[in-house]
Structure 1
Amino acid sequence: MLTVLLALVVVLGAPFVGGPAHAADKPTVRLSKSQAGAGGSVTVTGGGWRPKAILMVLICGRSVPSRGVPGGTDSCANADGRAVTADDKGDFRRELPVAEPPVPCPCVVHVSTITGPKAEADAVFQVAGHSVEPLPQEAAGGRLSLLTDSRLKGSGGLLTWFGAPPTRELVFTVGNVGTSPVKNPVFQVGTSHGVFAPQWEEQQWRGTIQPGRQTRITLPVDLAAGAHGDYTVSLKYGGKVLAEQPWNVGRPWGVTLFWLMLCAVVPAASFRIGMAVVDRVRPGRKAPERRLRMPGLPVWVPRPSASTAAHAQPRTASPSRTTPALPWFTPDTDPGAPRAVRLSSSQEDSST
């Protein structure tokens, strides 16, 4: 009996337990008014968002909630958009100024997450006085649909560490869900940094995708030199965003190391050059004495001993007596000799 009662409680209580959780998984957007003119304002409230999520609120043209925003943020009034952060329960409230989008209506108030898992919701809104045109019809031919999650392939190298442009490859699989083949499809790859809008670049894939077939496509993605931080790579085809991938680009520490070494080497070299210049131009400095060095004797020449060198040294003449080496004077008639030692031949004979 107890087992039957427990089973009944579980069966009857399951809808009440699971209902609110599933309802909170889908974000919602509500407006204080459905129409307003440019220059006015509308209060936007929402619920069911991820707690503490950062959201962007925009007024976009040529859009309906069933098709989202086919033209992306290019069809929205980005300059008058507002950012808001959801509370702990996933609710938010934000005053939004009314501005005319760059394309005709039908218009919506578009709310989407900026960081983290992608989520978005739309609410119908009419900008009073703004032109209204019917939405373009979807092509009945070949249509591509993303079949598997996209991913970024590749890694950085030594050159990237020193400021070279980071490069990756965006790999994804698409299938042709239309009735005619798709030949040489043109995709748009966008890169955005932080909260800024993506910068789109068209890339054409060469090939043909038959109806009911799928193929794997690889497109190159590159950033500017020295780029670092949190980036988001987006893939768009036919005006619809198919996938988004986060890309955390590391800081080029090699450039920082180079500038640190340059800041250390240049002052040291300048100090050494300055000290050398000061040492040369300072007053009272005596020039170093230069001594003449005799070239070394060959190995086969015998070196003189100490006693031989002492006898071989020439005797220096006394400063009081000079002996000129003139060939036409004899030692007796040397004009530079003192008078006391000048002897004539007649005096020597008389003394003898």
Structure 2
Amino acid sequence: MRGKPRIPALVPALLPVLLLLLLLLLLPLSLSLPSAGTAAAADGKPAVTLSSSQAGTGGSITVSGTGWRSRTLLMLLVCGQATPARGVVGGTNSCANADGRAVTTDADGRFSRALPVTDPPVPCPCVVHVATATGAKAQADAVFQVAGHPVEPLPAQTAGGRLTVLTDTRLDGSGSLLTWFGAPPSRTLAFTVGNVGTAAVENPVFQVGTAHGVFAPQWDERQWHGTLGPGEKARVELPVELTAGAHGDYTVSLKYGGKVLAEQPWGVGRPWGVTLFWILLCVVVPAAVFRIGMAVVDRVRPRHAARRPPPAPGHGRRRRTAIAPPRPAPPTPNATLPWFTPDTGPGPAGRLSAPHEDHPTSPTTPTTPGRKGSM
């Protein structure tokens, strides 16, 4: 009778060692297979999710996002003529900008914000467009359907040449004295563009947009005259001008073929000359009006006669000032008195003259004795 095969005594002792080696071999494999959430965080690409993929005008949806930079201001918009693959074809002009919402991400780059549903200005297909308002550019789109809004196919993409901005984008120029007094600030947007397509691009038309703060940019078309063949590059300079009196933080954007190629910040100083002008105006005009008013008052004021000097103290009010008689002129030394003849004069012979009227007691002139008896 054969006995049962006997297991060597060494095998049970080696089982724990074999299990430990197997665990050590499987541990690196498990570490190399991260979960989906870990992979999304490792990629660092911003993502957007919606609480509902369809809603009607007047309703609202909740927009959530992950993978964004921390403490970053974002803008949430409902846009038409857009897909996640092609983006917003018409730029923010195809979005319901008036009903957009702003949100700031937390320390982990996450956010959640309610967004009202509004008809975009262009037909669908529509997306919820999320983009950074400040700092480095980043954006993400989520497919969304506005119930009852018309749907039209996207415009066909143009084949052939395709332009892209290579490097060295900057704003050239500086302000002037007129800008200090409120003239429109102007700069030149200079950049290097290259043709990465398969066909030549002739006289391309760029769109230059200026945005103040978090507001949507205002686009203006600028045409560059020239031809770029496949693989060629060129230096392009386009003028940029703001409105009169503009100041603050602006962002200059460059767009071609419905795609934003570059953005450049622009800090515009306050026109202090305008403030100085208003201060001087508030000082000079009142002073001039005061001078003119005083001149008018002085001209229309009645003219009064010169008043007599007040009487001396101690005299009555009814006492009149006596008018002194005119003083006679002194007699001339050589003049002849009227009661003397030229042959006579005061002296010894004067006693024989007739008596003076002003001396009635003077004696009469004696006569000759002989002539008295004959008379």
- Report the Cα offset of residue 108 of structure 1: 0.8
Answering whether residue 95 of structure 2 is matched by residue 100 of structure 1, we say no
- String of CA shifts for 1:144-184, please: whole Å, max 9, x gaps: 11112521111112221121211100011111122221111
Unaligned stretches of 5+ in structure 2? Answer: 1-29, 308-324, 350-375
Q: Following the alignment from structure 2 to structure 1, what is the Cα–Cα distance between the partners of residues 136 and 33?
A: 27
- Report the Cα offset of residue 50 of structure 1: 2.3
- Report the Cα offset of residue 82 of structure 1: 1.5
Q: Which residue of 2 aligns with 1:54?
A: 73
Unaligned stretches of 5+ in structure 1? Answer: 1-11, 288-317, 324-330, 333-340
SS at the partner of 2:74?
strand
Q: 1:286 to 1:205 in 2, by over 3 A?
A: farther
- Report the Cα offset of residue 135 of structure 1: 2.1
Answering whether residue 349 of structure 2 is matched by residue 321 of structure 1, we say no
Task: Tell me which amino acid in the other structure corresponds to 1:187.
Answer: F
Answering whether residue 124 of structure 2 is matched by residue 129 of structure 1, we say no
Answering whether residue 129 of structure 2 is matched by residue 110 of structure 1, we say yes
Q: Which residue of 2 aligns with 1:145?
A: 164
Q: Which residue of 2 aligns with 1:343?
A: 338
| Contact preservation (8 Å) 1:149, 1:243 | no
Task: Tell me which amino acid in the other structure corresponds to 2:106.
Answer: D
**Comparing 266-275 with 160-169, which one deviates more in the overlay?**
266-275
Answering whether residue 192 of structure 2 is matched by residue 173 of structure 1, we say yes
| Contact preservation (8 Å) 2:40, 2:67 | no
Q: 1:259 to 1:286 in 2, by over 3 A?
A: farther
Task: Tell me which amino acid in the other structure corresponds to 2:328.
Answer: R
Structure index of larger Rg: 2
Q: 2:176 aligns with which of 141, 154, 157?
A: 157
- Report the Cα offset of residue 24 of structure 1: 6.9
Q: CA RMSD in A?
A: 3.3
SS at the partner of 1:349?
coil
- String of CA shifts for 1:235-285, please: whole Å, max 9, x gaps: 111111111111110001122122223333344455556667777859989
Q: Following the alignment from structure 1 to structure 2, what is the Cα–Cα distance between the partners of residues 165 and 21?
A: 46
Q: Percent identity?
A: 66
Q: 1:261 to 1:109 in 2, by over 3 A?
A: same
| Contact preservation (8 Å) 2:193, 2:233 | yes
| Contact preservation (8 Å) 2:182, 2:271 | yes
Q: Which residue of 2 aligns with 1:64?
A: 83
Q: 1:345 to 1:127 in 2, by over 3 A?
A: same
Q: 1:234 aligns with which of 242, 250, 253?
A: 253
Q: Which residue of 2 aligns with 1:295?
A: none
- String of CA shifts for 1:3-58, please: whole Å, max 9, x gaps: xxxxxxxxx99998xx6796373221110111122222211111222222221111
Q: Following the alignment from structure 1 to structure 2, what is the Cα–Cα distance between the partners of residues 203 and 175?
A: 17
Q: Following the alignment from structure 1 to structure 2, what is the Cα–Cα distance between the partners of residues 169 and 108?
A: 34
| Contact preservation (8 Å) 2:79, 2:126 | yes
Task: Tell me which amino acid in the other structure corresponds to 1:349.
Answer: T
| Contact preservation (8 Å) 1:38, 1:99 | yes
Q: Following the alignment from structure 1 to structure 2, what is the Cα–Cα distance between the partners of residues 158 and 247?
A: 19
Q: Which residue of 2 aligns with 1:33?
A: 52
Q: 1:15 to 1:171 in 2, by over 3 A?
A: farther
Q: Following the alignment from structure 1 to structure 2, what is the Cα–Cα distance between the partners of residues 21 and 46?
A: 12
Answering whether residue 226 of structure 2 is matched by residue 207 of structure 1, we say yes
User: What does 1:278-297 align with in structure 2 at a 5 Å threshold?
Assistant: 281=301
SS at the partner of 1:258?
helix
- String of CA shifts for 1:109-132, please: whole Å, max 9, x gaps: 101111222111111111222222
SS at the partner of 2:154?
coil
| Contact preservation (8 Å) 2:41, 2:67 | no
Q: 1:46 to 1:345 in 2, by over 3 A?
A: same
Q: Which residue of 2 aligns with 1:326?
A: none
Q: Which residue of 1 aligns with 2:271?
A: 252
- Report the Cα offset of residue 193 of structure 1: 1.2
Task: Count how many residue pairs are aligned between Structure 1 and Structure 2.
Answer: 297
Q: Which residue of 1 aligns with 2:5?
A: none
SS at the partner of 1:116?
coil
Task: Tell me which amino acid in the other structure corresponds to 1:343.
Answer: P
What TM-score, normalized by structure 1, do the two folds share? 0.74
Q: Following the alignment from structure 1 to structure 2, what is the Cα–Cα distance between the partners of residues 165 and 198?
A: 17
- Report the Cα offset of residue 216 of structure 1: 0.7
What TM-score, normalized by structure 2, do the two folds share? 0.70
